[in-house]
Amino acid sequence: MHGRGPWWQERFNQHCVRVTAAREVVINVLHETAEHLSATEIYMKAHAISPEIGLTTIYRTLELLEQMRIVQKFDFGDGQARFELLNNPGGKGHHHHLICVKCKKIIDYKDFINEEINCLGKTQEFLSEKYNFQINDHIVSFYGLCEECRGKKS
Amino acid sequence: MHGRGPWWQERFNQHCVRVTAAREVVINVLHETAEHLSATEIYMKAHAISPEIGLTTIYRTLELLEQMRIVQKFDFGDGQARFELLNNPGGKGHHHHLICVKCKKIIDYKDFINEEINCLGKTQEFLSEKYNFQINDHIVSFYGLCEECRGKKS
DNA sequence: TATAATAATGAAAACCATTTTCATTTAAAG
DNA sequence: CTTTAAATGAAAATGGTTTTCATTATTATA
């Protein structure tokens, strides 16, 4: 069923985008950690593997991967974008977020995912048709204050 | 049942935050448009009403309102944060987003909103207890490519 | 295999949204 | 009215992200 090469190869082909060393490194770095990495963090890890890769390329690659829906970009409010591989929404690694707006703490959760996925799935199907969108994935985030921050002033 | 003064007055009191002219203006500006305004756009509108209000205050006010959960901050990927009043999640104005990752087009939708809210409500209750969070609201966003962008290269 | 055409890259500079500093003003408490 | 702490504006600094531009690598074509 599956072709040769990694799962994302096909996406590259669809988008007429070349598979380069830098892009493979970025995907591998994300695959190894897969948790909320910033562009700079990705750069440092990638740089450790292939020192010739520049920060600019990291940014360009991440933007590309985002548009190909291989990567999801997040803003948790701490001033820098963060990225996660999104190989299979609805699959194993998929999770949602619980975010403290004061200290920016983030909790990944998977509880009730089935019910949520079910419900979101219906919505996705509907929206996809109504607005003629090719929907690939979604973000669900809950916002509030964690225990420690609830006490604080200002 | 309701006290005197606008609905957000109580929040200010809870958080020991002063009600100032600038803050009222910001809330009013958001109340009038209530759609995806950036800090600069809010500044311009606020400035038109009260020219003594500076951009810095706009930023500070927005951060404050975000922490008090009077305002929700969004990142749609166009390089600047955007803000919406979130007076009543589950209420009339509440909506979710459908975002094109290429052209950054945003569609507000309310379809299936009740089912989603319903389903998310259960999750919220569960998470709230499990992680001891005071959850005030949520974001649901679908990502993909719109009709026009699906054809484009690169 | 040569050659042409296009895409990808790195380094440095530019950009620009957001934050910080600091001196001043304003609001609430006693 | 006085005191104390919070809020503000202007200007400067910050720092994540993008652009520019010259160079290199990749794919298509002859």
Side chain identity at residue A102, one-letter code: K
CB A44 within 8 A of CB A56: no
Interface contacts (A, B; CB < 8 Å): 146
How much is the pLDDT for A82? Answer: 96
The structure tokens listed for A149 are 């921050």
Query: Which residue approaches C7 most closely, CA to C1'?
Result: A18
pLDDT for B150 beyond 90: no
How much is the pLDDT for B117? Answer: 85
- Residue B43's SS3 state is helix
Cα(first)–Cα(last) distance of chain B, in Å? Answer: 57
Q: Is B21 (CB) below 7 Å from strand D?
A: yes
How much is the pLDDT for A153? Answer: 55
pLDDT in tens, B117-141: 888 998 999 999 999 999 999 999 9
How much is the pLDDT for B2? Answer: 47
The DSSP output letter for A26 is H
pLDDT in tens, B85-101: 987 656 678 899 999 99
In chain A, % of residues over pLDDT 90: 66
pLDDT for B42 beyond 50: yes
How much is the pLDDT for A1? Answer: 47
How much is the pLDDT for A4? Answer: 57
How much is the pLDDT for A94? Answer: 86
How much is the pLDDT for A112? Answer: 73
Distance, CA of A31 to chain centre: 11
The pLDDT of A71-99, averaged and rounded, is: 87
pLDDT for A44 beyond 70: yes
Task: Please tell me the distance from the alpha carbon of residue B138 to that of residue A149, in angstroms, as a whole number.
Answer: 18
Q: Is A81 (CB) below 7 Å from strand C?
A: no
Exposed, middle or buried: residue A37 (CB in 10 Å: 0-12, 13-18, 19+)?
Answer: buried
CB B99 within 8 A of CB A67: no
Nearest nucleotide to A81, CA against C1' atoms: D16
Domains of chain A: 1-87 (1.10.10.10), 89-154 (3.30.1490.190)
- The mean of the pLDDT values for chain A is 89
On chain C, which bases lie within 7 A of the protein's CB atoms?
7-12, 16-21, 26-28
pLDDT in tens, A135-147: 999 999 999 999 9
